Every structure is written in structure tokens, then in C-alpha cells.
Structure 1
Amino acid sequence: MAERILVIDDEQNLLQVVGDYLKKNSFEVFTADRGRKALEMFDELEPDFLILDLNLPDISGEDICREIRKKSDIPILMLTAKTSEEDKVKGLYLGADDYLTKPFSPRELVGRVNAILRRTRNKGSMSEIFSFRAGDLVLDNMRRTVTKKGIEVSLTPNEYKLLHALVQYPGQVFSRARLVSAALGFDFEGYDRTIDTHIKNLRQKIEDDFRDPTYILTIYGVGYKFQGGEK
């Protein structure tokens, strides 16, 4: 069955061109030119992938991303006309998996979509369960769930992969580059400082106090390590 992609952008020409390229690559494509319409379509269609423009006339792309992340870990590729690193990192902080700056090549967009899907299709079959501090934090790799104090935590696909890579080797220090290759794959087209944004998001979701973490520690000048809840 073809994977469903919902493209959200208010530029009709862009919707047409992007839609045509995605269809040629065997995707089922749906489009929306308004944020509210897109949210309604999301609930009805249950797509497999979201391409989201940040600048929409009724609801900002940031707000749409926040709403989607409350209920789904669907891969999200953000489109933006903003070129500053701060703007791009903000999108990743909100839960996007990658970003693409306008103007862009439709072929590059399809390549990004395929790269992200390659990273998220392999959901893993190992029945691993990692539990820390008497069940305070539990990662179940068979179900691909993470719970904190018994409550399920919603992670993006990349956040989950990073956490899974870290919990397998408590106490081992990972450089940013190593985390990129271990968790996100060699075809990851972002930059290694993107890891910092994902780690910040993870800390806010799994730490008792993200400003004083006990699970994911920073090793200054090197990278990060998972400490298992004990400093």
C-alpha cells in the first residue's frame, strides 16, 4: 500500500509541483492550503508523512506542529523561507524531523522524504525492555513506547532512536557525530548540532528537572552519555 503524504502549503503552484513529484515516486498525496483544513484532514486521513510550510495564512506551521505532536509521532518535514539557524532549530525543537529552505528542488524534497522514511520504517523487532530507577523510566522497544512514572511519553521518531541508542550503553560517552550515525543513519542530511536540539527535547520529556538532568548528561567538549538516572 502506498504511503500517504499530506502536504500543507498556501502556494498552489508548489502544491501542484510537489504533489506531482511525490506521485511519480509512488506516494499517495493529499494537499491543504490552510492550517485548519489540514488539521481536519490529518484526523480523517491518518497520513504516514507530513510536509508542512511554516508560513500559512490562518494558523502558523509551528502551531500545527505542536497540535500534531500532541497525538502523533508522524515524520514531519518543515518548509521554510527563513534561512537563519535559529529559525531552523526552532522547527526541530517543536518536533520536526527535518527542514527544507525555500526555494528548493522537488527532487531534493523527494530525497529528504525517502531518507526520513528509511529511518522511521524500521521499527525494530527486538523485545528489549530497559527500565531505570525502579520503573521511573521505561523504554519498551517491542512496542516502541517510553513511559515516565507510568505515564507514556510522546517522542518523535528521531528522539526515540536517540534515546534507544543511548540506553543500550549506560555510562558510555557518545560524540554528536557518533549519535548521528548510530541513531539517525549515515543518510541523515541535517547537521550534528541538530543532536543538541533533540537532546534538549528529550530532557524536557524524561527528566524530573531538565535543567539538572540525571539521565542524559552533557560531557562538555565531547557529547552526551546516558547515566541511568544516577549522577
Structure 2
Amino acid sequence: MRKILIVDDDQKTRTLLKTYLEKNQYEVYLAHNGESFLAEFNRYADELSLVILDVMLPDTDGFVLCKTVRHRSNVPIIMLTASSDETDRVVGLELGADDYVSKPYSPRELLARIKAIHRRTGMDSAAAPRYYRFVGFTLDTVERTVTDPNGNLVPLTGLDFQLLKYFVEHAGDILDRSALCEGTRGRDSGPLDRFLDVQISRLRLRLNDGGKHPLLIKTVRGAGYVFSADVTSSNA
């Protein structure tokens, strides 16, 4: 059974989500503030399949917790935000969150986001290959890591990893902005569409693929982007 840790300072919300998600075959741990969240995270970190962070908490904020989690783990993160400000969402994604849900939301919507992340991270697809290799790099879909040709870990946020994973899974295909947004965030391009260009530029730098003429992630004028490297996949 997949285990999810949720931090939200509203008791009714916590209780509602726990009841709803447990009915859908998830094991749920709850926290009411940053301190209790960190205690639970330290206890269950290696067992969690997903973390849900409320942005506004009484003793800290979800961004601080997101940064802390990402320093220690690649577990998928969903941010809950009551703000309509695009900046909050972009900040969360830059810190390593995998998705966000705006308040008010329904438990059904959140469940859909959870399932989408589990599909994208390979947790709902046992037949999918574990490793993707290209020009000396290795992407591990289980550990959610990327190593360079020298065997060193490449520092990627959760969203960076999702974007690269989507590229290697569709190597050689021209991917437009809508496809990339849907493939990495499970939603159509919207307010965060402009963030995609920044994210791709950052990913290129992480892969030493920057400069005027990138070799791995190429821009196709008027059409989108294409991952041009040869990619092989395996389970060993």
C-alpha cells in the first residue's frame, strides 16, 4: 500500500483527506505544522510514495519544507496553495515540487493528481524500463536520479527530472509546449507555460548542453523541442 504524508493546519481538511485517500487504498500519515511534519518525515522517509505540503503553516511555510525534503529525498511532492499568484506556484516548482493544487479543491481532484504523479514516476507501471541511457548519462526511474558519464549525480529538481524523463521516453519526437506541460505536470499549458522555457534552459545547463547550439535538447522553430540523442532502455 502506498504511503502518503500530508501536512495541513486545518484539522477538518486533514481528516477529510485521510478518510478519502484511505478509501482509495492509500496509507496516510498526518501532520499539523512544520515541526510535526519533519518528525513524521524523519520516521517514514524511506517508505513514502508522495508528500503533500500546504504552503501556509503556523510555524513555517511549505516552501521551506519542500526545500528540506528535496535535500534529503526524491519523493514526489504536491504543494497546496490558496494563493492565485503565479509566483507561489513557480517558486514551489523551482524548489523541487512535482505539482501544485490550488485551493479550494476537491479530494477527487487531489486524488487525480496523486495518481497522475504515480503514473509519471513509474509507480503504476511495473513493466516500464528502469534505466534510460544516452551519451554516457543514466536515468534511473526508480531512484529518480541521473548520473553523468563520470558516474556523478546530476543535481535535478523533481520537475527537472520529470521533464528529462519525458524527453528520453519520447526521444526523436517533436514535442510542443502543450505535450511537455501535460507530460510533466499532468495538465494543459496555462499560467506556468512561460516557465517551461526557463526550465528547459536550466535542464540544458545541468546536462552541459547549454550554449547557442544545444546537442541534446534542440529547439524546433515554431514547433517545440526534440531530444536528439540516441536513447537505450533496460531493467539492469
| TM-score band, normalised by shorter chain | 0.7 to 0.9
What amino acid is aligned across from residue 224 of structure 1 in structure 2? Y
After superposition, the Cα gap between the structure-2 partners of 1:224 and 1:29, relative to the gap in structure 1 and judged at 3 Å, is: same
CA-to-aligned-CA distance 1:48-87 (integer Å, 9 cap, x gap): 1111101112222111111111222212111001112232
Aligned counterpart, 1:126 = 129
After superposition, the Cα gap between the structure-2 partners of 1:102 and 1:166, relative to the gap in structure 1 and judged at 3 Å, is: closer
Aligned residues: 222
Q: How does 1:1-231 map to 2 (within 5 A)?
A: 2-46=1-45, 47-120=48-121, 121=123, 122=125, 125-126=128-129, 129-132=132-135, 135=136, 137-139=137-139, 145-148=145-148, 149-155=150-156, 159-167=160-168, 172-180=173-181, 183-184=183-184, 188-189=186-187, 191=189, 193=193, 195-196=196-197, 198-207=199-208, 215-228=216-229
For residue 212 of structure 1, report the CA deviation from its aligned partner: 8.3
What amino acid is aligned across from residue 110 of structure 1 in structure 2? L
For residue 90 of structure 1, report the CA deviation from its aligned partner: 2.1
Following the alignment from structure 1 to structure 2, what is the Cα–Cα distance between the partners of residues 223 and 173? 6
Following the alignment from structure 2 to structure 1, what is the Cα–Cα distance between the partners of residues 73 and 85? 27
Following the alignment from structure 1 to structure 2, what is the Cα–Cα distance between the partners of residues 163 and 123? 20
After superposition, the Cα gap between the structure-2 partners of 1:72 and 1:220, relative to the gap in structure 1 and judged at 3 Å, is: farther
Following the alignment from structure 2 to structure 1, what is the Cα–Cα distance between the partners of residues 201 and 23? 37
SS of aligned partner of 1:111: helix
SS of aligned partner of 1:50: strand
After superposition, the Cα gap between the structure-2 partners of 1:206 and 1:43, relative to the gap in structure 1 and judged at 3 Å, is: farther
SS of aligned partner of 1:70: helix
What amino acid is aligned across from residue 191 of structure 1 in structure 2? S
For residue 147 of structure 1, report the CA deviation from its aligned partner: 0.9
Following the alignment from structure 2 to structure 1, what is the Cα–Cα distance between the partners of residues 76 and 140? 20
What amino acid is aligned across from residue 39 of structure 1 in structure 2? L
For residue 123 of structure 1, report the CA deviation from its aligned partner: 6.1
TM-score (norm 2): 0.76
For residue 112 of structure 1, report the CA deviation from its aligned partner: 1.9
Following the alignment from structure 2 to structure 1, what is the Cα–Cα distance between the partners of residues 142 and 171? 20
After superposition, the Cα gap between the structure-2 partners of 1:200 and 1:29, relative to the gap in structure 1 and judged at 3 Å, is: farther
CA RMSD across the alignment? 3.2
For residue 180 of structure 1, report the CA deviation from its aligned partner: 4.6
Contact 2:201 2:210 in 1 (8 A): no
Contact 1:124 1:142 in 2 (8 A): no
Following the alignment from structure 1 to structure 2, what is the Cα–Cα distance between the partners of residues 123 and 55? 36
TM-score (norm 1): 0.78
Following the alignment from structure 2 to structure 1, what is the Cα–Cα distance between the partners of residues 104 and 143? 39
After superposition, the Cα gap between the structure-2 partners of 1:107 and 1:211, relative to the gap in structure 1 and judged at 3 Å, is: farther
Contact 1:70 1:154 in 2 (8 A): no
What amino acid is aligned across from residue 84 of structure 1 in structure 2? D
Stretch deviating more after TM superposition (157-166 or 34-43): 157-166
After superposition, the Cα gap between the structure-2 partners of 1:226 and 1:38, relative to the gap in structure 1 and judged at 3 Å, is: same
Stretch deviating more after TM superposition (65-74 or 193-202): 193-202
Stretch deviating more after TM superposition (28-37 or 86-95): 86-95
Contact 2:131 2:138 in 1 (8 A): no
